[in-house]
A and B are shown apart, each in its own frame.
Chain A
Amino acid sequence: MIQTDILIIGAGPCGLFTVFEAGLLKLKCHLIDALPQPGGQCSEIYPKKPIYDIPAYPEILAGDLVERLMAQAEPFKPGFTLGERAQTIEKAEDGDFLVTTNKGTVHKAPVVAIAGGLGSFEPRKPPIQNLTDFEDKGIEYIIKDPEFYRGKKVVISGGGDSALDWAIYLTEEQVAEEVTLVHRRNGFRGHPDSAQRVIELAERNKLTLLTEAEVIGISGNGQLNELTVKHKTLGEKKIATDHWVPLFGLTPKLGPIADWGLDIEKNAVKVNTFDYSTNIDGIYAIGDCNTYPGKLKLILCGFHEATLMVQSAFKRIFPDKNLVLKYTTVNGVQGFE
């Protein structure tokens, strides 16, 4: 079990800055994030995009901002549970919160700060009615271990790098028995070199490339064994397969937090702007995931919210201690050993 002072759900910019502000008050933080790397949207959606409204940075790339926030948090030795989604919350006997992830990791803390942005990033699922019937029964949204596909017939959908790279790998390494790549267009958004390699493999009949086509139906007897693929002009056809891996990127979903008993309004957690506390004593919500009159979803507003929130968290954790605002210009930053 992981024990900390402030458990932060979401390792985006707002969650990372919380580590710094909490550290100044000698509070330790641990962050949980569904993504395998810190940075949230900044790392996952737009690492190479410039941001223009961070004070003192006329322009900074989102990825660089995350790097600097990590450096700023580093003296305070934050812990990370990455690639796991915060799933359930309950109260321990001593009044602390127990937060368990989808992989069973348990975290214990007197204060929980939800900095979950728009939610946890989940694979974008194709709108096929009986999709859930075959999840993990032939349909996977992520390839964890290519060996899983050894000797199998595999259909991959998508036009991005992960679709191209896996199609190439499973073919060239002779892992899968048959590889088919289905893509809606003739163009690919993945790397041009990868697209070229896929086209060459298709020309040499090493893999089957179906462009201007979409998977529109799935069937099987408990286990996936057939896909219906619709071509833009040539109509529908059936393909026998053991696996279908739709790779359409990730999209944020509020997810399990919606069931934590918090006041939710339009997919956001209602907070008191005095300290960004929620309706549950000890749980705060900061950054894009919260809402209040006048709310602006800006990184800089999240930083402000994080700063005020840790003051309130401190008083909750140490009700008898007085808190004096200390300027970093006077005291510097004393990290943890």
Chain B
Amino acid sequence: MITINVTDREGALHELEAPTDMNMNLMEVLKAHELPVEGTCGGMAMCASCHCYVESDHPLPEKSDDEEDMLDEAFFVDEAKSRLACQIKISEAVNGLEVSLAPVG
């Protein structure tokens, strides 16, 4: 189990526990905890509805072209912090990750 710290759009803090052995991504964890991300495409980096900002300096894999392309269709993009939650794999490497949910357009 790892912990992810999420700030929702109202500024409330949520400390989420997530298992590392279930091949989950952050979008699925957010949805499992009923936080308001849509994840329309189901996690294929094809809809930008799980846009979030990574606030901590955890080393994450570079954005793929697919992810970069989809962020083009999102708004409120912050080049340095914006990610699609579905492209962040839940593993020990992201224990303690701090993210906030991007506003919806």
Contacts and interface: CB of A to CB of B under 8 A. Distances in A.
Interface of A: 41, 45-46, 49, 118, 124-127, 158-160, 183-185, 187, 189, 232, 248-249, 251-252, 297
B40 interface: yes
Given A46-B44, A49-B44, A187-B68, A125 B105 contact: yes
A297 B40 CA distance: 11
Interface stretch (B13-21, B52-60, B70-78, B86-94): B70-78
B46 interface: yes
Contacts of B79: 232
Contacts of A189: 65, 68-70, 72
Nearest to A189: B69
B1 interface: no
A229 to B, nearest CB: 15
A126 B105 contact: yes
B40 A184 contact: no
A127 B72 contact: no
B47 A45 contact: yes
A160 B44 contact: no
A244 to B, nearest CB: 15
B49 interface: yes
A158 B103 contact: no
Nearest to A127: B105
Given A189-B69, A249-B73, A127 B103 contact: yes
Majority secondary structure of chain B interface residues (helix, strand, loop or mixed): loop
Interface residues of B, number: 20
Contacts of B103: 127
Interface string B22-53: 00000000000000001011101011010000
A251 to B, nearest CB: 7
B58 to A, nearest CB: 24
Contact of A251 (B40, B44, B65, B72): B40
B71 to A, nearest CB: 8
B35 to A, nearest CB: 12
A127 B69 CA distance: 19
B23 to A, nearest CB: 14
Given A185-B68, A189-B69, A251 B75 contact: no
A31 B14 CA distance: 43
Given A45-B46, A189-B72, A184 B105 contact: no
Contact of A248 (B38, B40, B73): B73
Q: Which 10 A-B pairs have the closest CB atoms?
A: A189-B69, A249-B73, A127-B105, A159-B72, A248-B73, A127-B75, A45-B46, A45-B41, A46-B46, A189-B72
Contacts of B41: 41, 45-46
Nearest to B49: A251
Given A46-B41, A127-B105, A184 B72 contact: yes
8 contacts: A46-B44, A126-B75, A127-B103, A183-B72, A184-B77, A189-B65, A189-B72, A252-B40
A158 B44 CA distance: 21
Given A45-B46, A158-B73, A189-B72, 17 more contacts: A118-B40, A124-B73, A125-B105, A126-B75, A127-B75, A127-B76, A158-B72, A184-B72, A185-B68, A185-B72, A187-B68, A189-B69, A248-B72, A248-B73, A248-B75, A249-B73, A251-B40
